Amino acid sequence: MRKTESTVSMQGTGGESRLQVDWSALPQAPLTLEGAAVLHQIVRMRRAAWRELPADRRREIAAQAAEWLAAAETRSDGQSAVYGIVGDKGDWLWIHFRPDFAALYRAQRELAALELWEWMEPVWSFVSVVELGLYESTTKLWEELAGRGVAPHSPEWQAAVQQLLDRQRQAMLPRLYPRLPESAWICFYPMNRRRGEHKNFYRTPMPARRVMMREHGETGRRFADRVRQIVTGSMGLDDWEWGVTLFAEDPVDFKKLIYEMRFDEASAEYAEFGPFYVGLRCPATRLPAELGAGDREETREPA
C-alpha cells in the first residue's frame, strides 16, 4: 500500500500546529453499522404442474400463501413482500427483512412449509444485512485519534470507536431497520468492488475512498424523491460483497439513477455488477389472482 498522508490541525496554547497523519499505519476498513438481516429469493413457478391441480385446490393453496404474506407484510419487526419479475430470470422475487438471522431463518422455513412452495423452484438467493458505511465519521475519528497519539486498537482507541458507533446507531435506527417502501417497483442487484490487476478498491487509501463514496452518495441523494435505496452488506454471508435494492413508482428511474452513478469514480473505476432483477409488487390481496387461483371475478380477462 502506498503511503498516504493528510494534515490534521492541532490547537494548543501556542497557536495552531500541523501534524502529518500516515494513513498506511491506521486501520483501512471504515466503521459500519449493521441492522436488519435480509434474504432475497428468486423462484420460478412450475406452471404446468400447477395448472394440473383442480381449481379448488389452487384456490385453497393460494389463500394459505396469501394469508401468510398478509401477516408478513404488516409485521412490526421486519416485513416480507413478493414481486413479479419482468423478464425470464425468474417468476417471483421474495424479499424478507427480519431483526436478526435467527428470525430470518424462521421466515425462510415458514415460507418453505407452505403448500405453494411445492410449485416454486428456487433459482437464486442472496443473504445480507442492512449496512451503513461511516466513511466520513471514521476518517474524522481516525485523524482526531492519530493527532492525539492514540495507538490503533488500544483501549482508548476502542472506547472512542464504541462511543461513535453507539451515537450513530441511535441516530440511524430507522435506516438500519427500515420499513419496506410501498413503491410499485423494485430493482435488486448484487455488486463487488474491483480487485483487478490495475484497479483495487481495497488498496486505495481511506481518504480517497471517502471522497469517492461522498460523490456516490451525492448522486443518489439527487434521486431521493423518486428512488428509495437500501444497501446491504454480504461479505462472509454470500458470494457478492453488497446488495442494492431500489424502490420506485417508475422503473425508468432505476435506469436514470444507475446510469448517472456509472460516471462516479466509485462505479466507473471500481464496481462490478451482478444480475439485475426488476419486479412489480404483488400485495397479498392480489396473490391468488396473480397465481391464477382467484375467484372468477378476479381472474376474468378484460373485455
> What are the boundaries of each domain within the chain?
34-129+282-296
Task: Please state which CATH number belongs to domain 34-129+282-296.
Answer: 3.30.70.1030
Calculate the average pLDDT of the chain: 90
Averaged pLDDT for residues 142-146: 94
First to last CA, the chain: 68
- Positions annotated as catalytic residues are 189
Amino acid 24: pLDDT: 84
CB of 285 within 8 A of CB of 73? no
- Identify the helix (H) or strand (E) that includes residue 290: helix 287-290
Averaged pLDDT for residues 131-140: 95
Amino acid 298: pLDDT: 43
Question: Is residue 85 exposed (0-12), middle (13-18) or buried (19+ Cβ within 10 Å)?
Answer: buried
Does pTM surpass 0.75? Answer: yes
Is the pLDDT at 15 greater than 80? The verdict is no
Averaged pLDDT for residues 198-203: 88
Which residues have a Cβ under 8 Å from the Cβ of 135 and sit 6 or more positions away? 30, 206, 209, 210, 213, 214
